[in-house]
Structure 1
Amino acid sequence: MSRPTYGLGDDHLELRDVVRQVCEEQIAPRAAEVDEHGAFPEASLRALVAARLHAITIPAEYGGEGGDHLAGVVVAEEIARACATTQQVAGANELFALPLLLAGSEELKRRYLPRIASGEWLGAFALSEPEAGSDVAAIRTRATAGEGGWVLTGTKRWITNAGSADAYVVFATVDPDAGPRGLAAFVVEATDPGLSFGAPERKMGMKGSPTCEVYLDKVFVPADRLIGETGAGMRIALGTLDRTRATVAAQAVGIAQGALDVASAYLGERQQFGKPLATFQGLQFMVADMEIQIRAARALTHQAARELDSHGADLTTAGAVAKCLASDTAMKVTTDAVQLLGGAGYVRDFPVERMMRDAKITQIYEGTNQIQRLVIARDVLSD
C-alpha cells in the first residue's frame, strides 16, 4: 500500500518517518509485555526521551523542540499505533505543560518546563474528582490561603501518571460558594509533604499507564506556584482540554491504524477454502470501511491541530469533533479487527484485542463523547 501524505509538508512527513522508526524498533516490541504485566513503560519512555519525542510541543525557549500542534498529533498517532500506553504516559507531559504555557508566570515556566522537556521530570494533570468528572465546577478540593502560600486538601481521581510523575497541575477551589469562578490551578511537586496516592486502578486497557487517586492532606504550596490568578482555574482547565483533545484524537487514530495494519496482514496470510481471506469480498468491504473511517478521523484530527496552530475561533468545536469521531472510530475499527481475525483476534497472541481494550478509554477521558456532542450541538445551535 502506498503511504499517503494527508496534506502534510516535508517537515511533518520527515518527523513521521523518524517517529515510526523509533516506535517500530523500540516501542512496539515491548507493547505486549507492558500490557501483560501492567508495567510502567520505562524503556519505551526512555526511547522517546532519547529521540526528543516525549514532549515535542514545548517551546524551544524552555528547552523543548518547539513543535506545533500538527507535529504533536503526528507524533501521538505514531506512538499510539505502536503502544497506546506509552503515548498516554508521555502525553501527560503536554497536559502538565499547557496550563503553564496558557497562564503561568515566566518564572514558573522556566522552573518546570525545561525539566519536562529534558525528560528529567514527568508531568501529570489532576482535575477529576470522585464527584467532579464532566462537572468540573463541582470540584471540592480546597485551597486555603495561608502564610506565604496555599494549603490544599482533597482527593483527585483517575489521574494519569499518579505516583510516577514528579510534578502535578492540581485544580482546587479557593471559594466554594463561587462555583466555577472560584477555581484555581497550582503546581504540586511529588515531594511536597501531605501528598500521597491510592492503589493503582485495575483497568480494562492502558494497563502500563499508572492511574491512581491523589490525596492532598494539607499540602502547602508556595504562593509562586499558583498558575495565573485565583478564579482562573476553569478557564485554564477548559483551555487545556480544548488543546489536548486533538492529541486524544490522534491517539485514537493511531490505535485504529495499528489494528487495521494487523488485520490487513492477517487477511493476506490466513487461508480458508483454499484461498487467502483477503480475496473474500465481505471481508474486503469491512477493510474498506475501516480505511474510510480512519482517513476521515485523521483528516479531522489534522484540521483540529491546524485550527489550534492558527489560533482559530473554531478550535473548541474542531477539537470536540475530532476527538468524538476519532475515538468512536477507534472503538469500531478495533472491534472489527478482532472480528476479522476470528478466534485469533480473541487471544493475546495477536495485538488487536489489546488495541480494542485500549481504544475504549478514548471515548471517555478528556470529556466523554456525550460531552463532546453537547459542545458541538451548542456551537451549531448558537448560530
Structure 2
Amino acid sequence: MKPSTTHLALPFFDSVHRDLGQRLADWIPEQHIDESDDRRACREWVRLLGDNQWLRYCVPAGKDGALGGALEKLDSRALVILREALAFHSPLADFAFAMQGLGSGAITLAGTAEQQAAYLPMVASGEKIAAFALSEPDAGSDAGAMSTAASQAANGWTLKGSKTWISNGGIADFYVTFAKTDPAAGTRGITAFIVDADVQGLDSSEHIAVMAPHPLATLKFSNCQLAGNTQLGTLNGGFKLAMQTLDIFRASVAGAALGMARRALAEAVSYSRQRKMFGQTLADFQLTQAKIGEMAALVDAAALLTYRAAWMRDEGERLGSSVRVTAEAAMAKMTATENAQRVIDMALQMHGGLGVKVGTKVESLYRDIRSLRIYEGATEVQQLIIGKAVLQS
C-alpha cells in the first residue's frame, strides 16, 4: 500500500519537501524486511535507509557537505515527512530512522567539530547506530531525579549508574548519555557525554521485551572511564541540551503517529469496500460512513498541528530566532498520538474478529501506537507543558 502525498500540497511545505515526500512514497512500498527478530531487523533497516540516502536527513550537511547531511541544517518538516511515510509502511523502519536522528541530535546541536566529524557522517551512512540515554528506573518524566553520576577523574570522567528504556540498547554503537555532574543542582547539574558501546564498564545485555517488539535495553555503568573529550556541550548544560534535542524530534513523533493513523484509515476504507454484509458492502452502511468521517477528521486535525509545529521550528531556524516552539510541539505530539490511538481502535473494531488476529495490519498497529503516547514525554506531560505556556502568555 502506497502512502498518500496529497498533504504535501499544503503551504507548510517547500519544493524540497514535496520532492522528498514523493520520492519516499515511491520507494518505501517496495521495501520488505523480515521483522520477526526486531534487533536484526532494526540493523537491516538502518543499513537499508543508509544505503538509500534517507538517513542523510538525520544530520546537517556541514561545511562542504563534510558531515554527510542532505540539507544545510536539521529540518523538522523533512523529519516529519520521513517518519510519516516510514510509519505508514513499517513502524520499525520509522523507529530505526528516528533513533539515528534522536541519538545524534545532541551532537548536531552541541558537539565540537571533532565530535561531529567522528560521529555524524557515520550516522548518515548507517555505519554507526545511535542511541539517546536519558531515562532511568526512577527518573522518567522527572529528569532532574536521575542518579547516574559522572565524577571528574585524572584523565576525564568516571561514570556510574544505570539507564533504562533505552531505544537501540544493545545494538547501538554509541549512547549520548546524561549524568549528574553536580548532584545538588537538580536539572542544572546534568552534563551530556558520548559513550561508545565498547567502553569498559558498560553492560547493555539486559534487554526489555515490549508488546510491539523494538530493541530496548537497560544500560549499567560500572566505573566507566571516559576520556575528557567525551563531554558533550557545556558542563552542567545537559538538561537544556536534552530538552532542545527533544523539541526538534517531538514533532516528528507526531509525524510517526500520523503515519500509523493514515495507514489504519486506509486499511479501514479498503476493508469496508470489500466486506460483504447483508447483501451490500460494509461501506454502504451509514454507521460505517460516519466512523470513517470521524477518523478522517481526527487524522487531518493531527496533521495540521504536526505540520504547524515543524514549520514554526524551521522558520525560527531560518530567521535565526531563538524562540522555542515547545508548546506547539507538545500540542502536535499529544494530539497526533491520542488521535492515532482512537483512529486505529476504530479501524480494528471495523475489522471485527479479523482485527484481533495476529498478523493483520490493524492488529500490529494497535500494539505499535500505544508506546507513542508515553515516550518522549507522556500525554500528561504534554498537557502540563501546554497549560503552563497558556497561563504564562
- Is TM > 0.5 for Structure 1 vs Structure 2? yes
Alignment of 1:8-87 (within 5 A): 8-26=13-31, 29-30=32-33, 33-34=34-35, 36-41=36-41, 42-61=43-62, 62-66=67-71, 68-87=75-94
Is it true that 1:238 corresponds to 2:248 in the alignment? Answer: no
Is it true that 1:330 corresponds to 2:340 in the alignment? Answer: yes
User: Aligned equivalents of 1:210 and 1:234: distance in 2?
Assistant: 25
User: Aligned equivalents of 1:314 and 1:103: distance in 2?
Assistant: 17
SS of the aligned residue for 1:362 comes to helix
The one of 1, 6, 11 aligned to 1:3? 6
User: Aligned equivalents of 2:200 and 2:91: distance in 1?
Assistant: 33
**What is the letter of the counterpart of residue 283 of structure 1?**
T
User: Aligned equivalents of 2:358 and 2:23: distance in 1?
Assistant: 28
Is it true that 1:182 corresponds to 2:185 in the alignment? Answer: no
Q: Is the 8 A contact 1:40 1:210 kept in 2?
A: no
Alignment of 1:77-116 (within 5 A): 77-116=84-123
SS of the aligned residue for 2:353 comes to helix
Q: Is the 8 A contact 2:60 2:108 kept in 1?
A: no
Is it true that 1:132 corresponds to 2:128 in the alignment? Answer: no
Structure 1 gap ranges (5+): none
Q: Is the 8 A contact 2:162 2:220 kept in 1?
A: yes
SS of the aligned residue for 1:193 comes to coil
Q: Is the 8 A contact 2:5 2:25 kept in 1?
A: no
Is it true that 1:376 corresponds to 2:380 in the alignment? Answer: no
User: Aligned equivalents of 2:176 and 2:5: distance in 1?
Assistant: 42
User: Aligned equivalents of 1:118 and 1:142: distance in 2?
Assistant: 32
Task: Please give the TM-score of this superposition, normalised by the length of structure 2.
Answer: 0.92
SS of the aligned residue for 1:59 comes to coil
Is it true that 1:275 corresponds to 2:280 in the alignment? Answer: yes
Q: Deviations over 1:76-126 (max 9, x none)?
A: 100011111221122111112221122221221111111111211010000
Q: Deviations over 1:151-192 (max 9, x none)?
A: 101100000001111011000001111111110000000111
CA drift at 1:38: 3.8
Q: How many residues align?
A: 376
**What is the letter of the counterpart of residue 16 of structure 2?**
D
Bigger mean CA deviation after superposition, 256-265 or 123-132 = 256-265
User: Aligned equivalents of 1:369 and 1:49: distance in 2?
Assistant: 32
Q: Is the 8 A contact 1:55 1:93 kept in 2?
A: no
Partner of 2:298: 293
SS of the aligned residue for 1:251 comes to helix
Task: Please give the TM-score of this superposition, normalised by the length of structure 1.
Answer: 0.95
CA drift at 1:55: 4.4
Q: Is the 8 A contact 1:22 1:47 kept in 2?
A: no
SS of the aligned residue for 2:40 comes to coil
User: Aligned equivalents of 1:126 and 1:244: distance in 2?
Assistant: 15
Q: Is the 8 A contact 1:6 1:299 kept in 2?
A: no
Q: Is the 8 A contact 1:338 1:353 kept in 2?
A: yes
Q: Is the 8 A contact 1:330 1:359 kept in 2?
A: yes
Q: Is the 8 A contact 2:5 2:22 kept in 1?
A: no
CA drift at 1:329: 1.0
Is it true that 1:360 corresponds to 2:370 in the alignment? Answer: yes
CA drift at 1:356: 1.0
User: Aligned equivalents of 1:350 and 1:162: distance in 2?
Assistant: 28
Q: Deviations over 1:42-72 (max 9, x none)?
A: 4333321122112414111211112621111
Q: Deviations over 1:322-345 (max 9, x none)?
A: 000000011111111100111111
Q: Is the 8 A contact 2:47 2:127 kept in 1?
A: no
Structure 2 gap ranges (5+): none
**What is the letter of the counterpart of residue 45 of structure 2?**
S
Bigger mean CA deviation after superposition, 268-277 or 103-112 = 103-112
Q: Is the 8 A contact 2:264 2:347 kept in 1?
A: yes
Q: Is the 8 A contact 1:139 1:173 kept in 2?
A: yes
Q: Is the 8 A contact 1:89 1:160 kept in 2?
A: no
1:44/1:112 Cα in 2 relative to 1: closer, same or farther (>3 Å)?
A: closer
User: Aligned equivalents of 1:43 and 1:88: distance in 2?
Assistant: 12
CA drift at 1:314: 4.9
User: Aligned equivalents of 1:221 and 1:345: distance in 2?
Assistant: 50
User: Aligned equivalents of 1:22 and 1:342: distance in 2?
Assistant: 32
SS of the aligned residue for 1:213 comes to strand
**What is the letter of the counterpart of residue 246 of structure 1?**
A
SS of the aligned residue for 1:247 comes to helix
User: Aligned equivalents of 2:191 and 2:16: distance in 1?
Assistant: 38
